[in-house]
Amino acid sequence: MSRYNVLILGSGGREHTLAWSVSRSPLLGKLFIAPGNPGTGTLGENVPLSPGDFPDPQAWFEALADLIRREEIALTVVGPEQPLVDGVADYLEERGHKVFGPSKTAAGLEGSKIFAKRIMHKYGIPTAGSVEFDGPSVLDDLGQWLSNENSDWPCVIKADGLAAGKGVFICTNRDEAIEHLQRIRSDKTLSDAASRVVVEEFMTGEEASVFAITDGKNARLLLSAQDHKRIGDGDTGLNTGGMGAYAPAPVVNAEMLRIVEETILYPTLRAMEEEGHPYRGVLYMGLMITKDGPRVVEYNCRFGDPECQVLLPALKTDLLEVMLATAGSRLDEVEIICHDHHYCGVVMASGGYPEHYEKGKKIEGLDRVSDDTLVFHSGTRLADGDLLTNGGRVLTVVCRGDDLRSAIDACYREVEKITFDNACYRSDIGAKGLKYGLNDESADDLA
């Protein structure tokens, strides 16, 4: 059997999960992670090539290409969105290297809200109605529109570019909208991302995400999932990168999945192909399940974090085989089969996150978790043999169960075994899925 050396780009919980999943494949030769974290370091070789250590993305891509040649890497898997939006897949593919992840233009589905909305409106993909603001006086034009227009409230103001989760403002009235506009003006990162702006109709319903792997023509669905973006129980407090996830999400029952495939997934793939930018990699469809059916809130061009932590453990199929088939445009040869379990992942974070928090707290208890618990590292570092906290989100603890309730209970039992000073986590991850009952049949009945 051929074996393939693999490089994973990134350093978070998502990348630890990708490394864990790939490392189970009999197809794997050597595994490299750049830059990785202490979790990925137990599964492969962490290579200290961080984008931040290079003057610009091109210089980093060059260093990656050297590594790929030197180590005969057959596939590069891109974890985060920024390198994709910067064109890492184009750079490496032009040099004959295989990449799991979309081209720069195709990654525009996440990198530019305007690009994504234009595709959706042009091809009739269900989403919120929207108005674009572009040009040299974009914020003034928007201010004028908000003051003059007889617009519907609430509305959603979105910066066009990547804004690290800070670029979306839900405004319940005109005063709030004007206040948000001031905030955009006074924040450098935000005003850069907001050189173009979209104002969207506010959609109501339950949010859920559906993930597909696609080679541009063929697509395979993974489980649906729900993230928990706010810091506090009951979806209160500040937005974070994501405090926990569970899968599958019962609001996306089998019929809903079929509708998502028919009205969103395949129309998006056909649209991208027709526009000359076939989409390859993971397509993350952030959806609002409204009373009129699923509508797109956003696309992402990569796995979610922490959604990845609950999706990949569910795979029965060899992830590396799927990713090689995707990069080789032959996904039609591979099926994706998932285990029949439910998965819950709770993020343990540093107290104070997503605002100010301290690092360097000793993490203990990882040796006490049960054998079938998975603990994925995000912000951790090793110092003299101790594992220390080194970021806002520190670990994701993942357990499975025959139903959602038992997955949640198992997960919190394990979380309590792990300690570090000022650890914080939500106590209600997965709770919104429980209202659908204990199994998929009852979810089908309720939806």
Rounded to whole angstroms, the maximal C-alpha distance in the chain is: 67
Query: For 52-95, what is the HEC assignment?
Result: HHCCCHHHHHHHHHHHHHHCCEEEEEECCHHHHHHCHHHHHHHC
Q: Which does 156 bind (CB under 5 to 8 A by kind): ligand AMP, ligand GLY, none?
A: ligand AMP
> Which residue in 47, 67, 168, 438 binds ligand AMP (CB under 6 A)?
168
Count Cβ atoms within 10 A of the Cβ of residue 424 and give its class: 0-12 exposed, 13-18 middle, 19 or more buried: middle
Q: Which does 250 bind (CB under 5 to 8 A by kind): ligand AMP, ligand GLY, none?
A: none
> Which residue in 18, 34, 43, 128 binds ligand AMP (CB under 6 A)?
128
Smallest distance, ligand AMP to C-beta of residue 300, A: 8
Provide the total of helices (H) and of strands (E) in the chain, helices listed first. 16, 22
Q: Which does 128 bind (CB under 5 to 8 A by kind): ligand AMP, ligand GLY, none?
A: ligand AMP
Applying CB under 6 A, the site for ligand AMP has a residue count of 12
Indicate the residue type of 395: L
Looking at 6-14, 72-80, 200-208, 436-444, which segment touches ligand AMP (CB under 6 A)?
Answer: 200-208
At 149, phi and psi to the nearest 5? -70, 145
Q: Which does 203 bind (CB under 5 to 8 A by kind): ligand GLY, ligand AMP, none?
A: ligand AMP
Smallest distance, ligand GLY to C-beta of residue 246, A: 12
Which CB, 86 or 298, lies closer to ligand GLY?
A: 298
- Enumerate residues 363-392 that contact ligand GLY by CB under 6 A: none
Check residue 156 for interaction with ligand AMP (CB under 6 A).
yes
Smallest distance, ligand GLY to C-beta of residue 305, A: 5
Check residue 203 for interaction with ligand AMP (CB under 6 A).
yes
Residue 322 to residue 188: CA distance in whole angstroms: 40
Alpha helices in 153-195 (DSSP H): 174-186, 188-193
Smallest distance, ligand GLY to C-beta of residue 162, A: 11
Whether 314 and 211 have beta carbons less than 8 Å apart is answered as no
The pairing of beta strand 393-401 with beta strand 386-389: unpaired
Smallest distance, ligand AMP to C-beta of residue 84, A: 16
Pick from 288, 348, 338: nearest CA to 310: 338
Check residue 298 for interaction with ligand AMP (CB under 6 A).
yes
Check residue 37 for interaction with ligand GLY (CB under 6 A).
no
Looking at 187-195, 199-207, 331-339, 389-397, which segment touches ligand AMP (CB under 6 A)?
Answer: 199-207
Q: How far is CA 224 from CA 247, 322, 346, 426, 436, in A?
A: 6, 18, 17, 21, 15
Q: Which does 297 bind (CB under 5 to 8 A by kind): ligand GLY, ligand AMP, none?
A: ligand AMP
Neighbour tally for 91: CB within 10 Å: 20
Smallest distance, ligand AMP to C-beta of residue 233, A: 17
Check residue 15 for interaction with ligand GLY (CB under 6 A).
no
- Enumerate residues 285-344 that contact ligand GLY by CB under 6 A: 300, 304-305, 307
Residue 408 to residue 429: CA distance in whole angstroms: 7
- Enumerate residues 230-259 that contact ligand GLY by CB under 6 A: 242
> Which residue in 35, 232, 286, 437 binds ligand AMP (CB under 6 A)?
286
Indicate the residue type of 296: V
Pick from 240, 219, 216, 218: nearest CA to 228: 240
At 177, list the tokens. Answer: 């909208």
> Which residue in 54, 123, 145, 202 binds ligand AMP (CB under 6 A)?
202
Check residue 200 for interaction with ligand AMP (CB under 6 A).
yes
Q: Which does 397 bind (CB under 5 to 8 A by kind): ligand GLY, ligand AMP, none?
A: none
Q: Give the helix/strand (H/E) hosting 324.
A: helix 319-327
The DSSP secondary-structure symbol of 361 reads: P
Q: Which does 304 bind (CB under 5 to 8 A by kind): ligand AMP, ligand GLY, none?
A: ligand GLY
Give the orientation angle of helix 174-186 with respect to helix 138-148, to 10 degrees: 170
Whether 294 and 249 have beta carbons less than 8 Å apart is answered as no
* Interface ranges with ligand AMP (CB under 6 A): 128, 156, 158, 168, 170, 200, 202-203, 207, 286, 297-298
